[in-house]
Amino acid sequence: MLGALAAAVAAYFVFPPYKNFIDSVFAAFATGDFAVMRDFVAEYGVWAAAVSFFLMIFQSVAAPLPAFIITLANANLFGWWRGAALSWSSAMAGAAVCFYISRVLGRGAAEKLASRAGLQSIDMFFERYGTHSILIARLLPFISFDLVSYAAGLTSMGFWPFFIATGIGQLPATIVYSYVGGMLTGGARMLVTGLLILFALSAFVVLLRQMHRERQRRREAKSI
């Protein structure tokens, strides 16, 4: 796995076509517009579904990238139920990759690919909700899907309980996003995209606030 990651990074500096593709991927994500992502995927014709599958895994590993842009793009391009199936299955593959990156390479690798503060916040979440943490986290849209996958790989949790809980918990959100994405056009598209971005930013603020409160509680407990 470490060799594959190293090869992927090295290829970026050696093969111009690969570099151009990765740059285009980041540019599409940076727009925050699922229509741009849809057009990017559609350019690959019969390989569009395979490219979308790769993009979902790619955004999982590069945790800050938003998955909902791909989910909306899939629904708009392939139809809502085909898009939902593609988004759900590729998100499951991405979750498995993140889980095993942490399990095999350890916390240091996970922190570099995600974030130290984010992983710490998920660790606190796991401590609070115990064995049902994965299912609960997957049902809450403001908790990062990818950070949960990375954090789970650092625990003693088995892969199959993690994978099954992920599949069940992720399904409702995937269906909702896909159904909405299949109907979005024009002004409605921009409105929903803006609301999703606002929701993501609000969730991030809430997460930081929870982390700050938890640290204060620990400091107070130590002082006592």
Q: Is 22 exposed, middle or buried (0-12, 13-18, 19+ CB in 10 A)?
A: middle
Q: Give the chain's radius of gyration (CA, Å).
A: 18
Does the pLDDT at position 45 exceed 90?
Answer: yes
Does the pLDDT at position 54 exceed 70?
Answer: yes
* pLDDT band of 209, cuts 50, 70, 90: low
pLDDT for res 208: 59
Does the pLDDT at position 127 exceed 70?
Answer: yes
Region 93-120 average pLDDT: 90
Report the alpha-carbon distance of residue 119 to residue 148 in Å, rounded.
8
Report the alpha-carbon distance of residue 124 to residue 126 in Å, rounded.
5
Residue with the larger pLDDT of the pair 198 and 179:
179
What is the residue whose two structure tokens read 């992720």? Answer: 170
Report the alpha-carbon distance of residue 217 to residue 128 in Å, rounded.
14
Does the pLDDT at position 187 exceed 50?
Answer: no
Distances in Å between the alpha carbon of 195 and those of 76, 105, 127?
A: 18, 36, 31
Report the alpha-carbon distance of residue 87 to residue 69 in Å, rounded.
10
Report helix angle 80-105 to 145-153, nearest 10: 30
pLDDT for res 78: 94
Residue type, 91: A
Does the pLDDT at position 220 exceed 90?
Answer: no
In 3-state terms, what secondary structure has residue 43? coil
Residue type, 2: L
Domain ranges of the chain: 2-223
Does the pLDDT at position 201 exceed 60?
Answer: no
Q: What is the pTM of this model?
A: 0.79
Region 96-103 average pLDDT: 94
Region 143-148 average pLDDT: 88
- The size of the chain, in residues, is 224
Nearest in space to 188 (alpha carbons), one of 40, 31, 27, 35: 35
Residue with the larger pLDDT of the pair 214 and 42:
42
Region 208-212 average pLDDT: 61
Q: CB of 87 within 8 A of CB of 70? A: yes
pLDDT for res 188: 47
For 155-164, the pLDDT digits (tens) are 999 999 999 9
In 3-state terms, what secondary structure has residue 65? coil
> H-helix or E-strand containing 159?
helix 159-181
Residue with the larger pLDDT of the pair 56 and 29:
56
Q: CB of 11 within 8 A of CB of 18? A: yes
Residue type, 28: A
Q: CB of 136 within 8 A of CB of 129? A: yes
pLDDT for res 69: 87
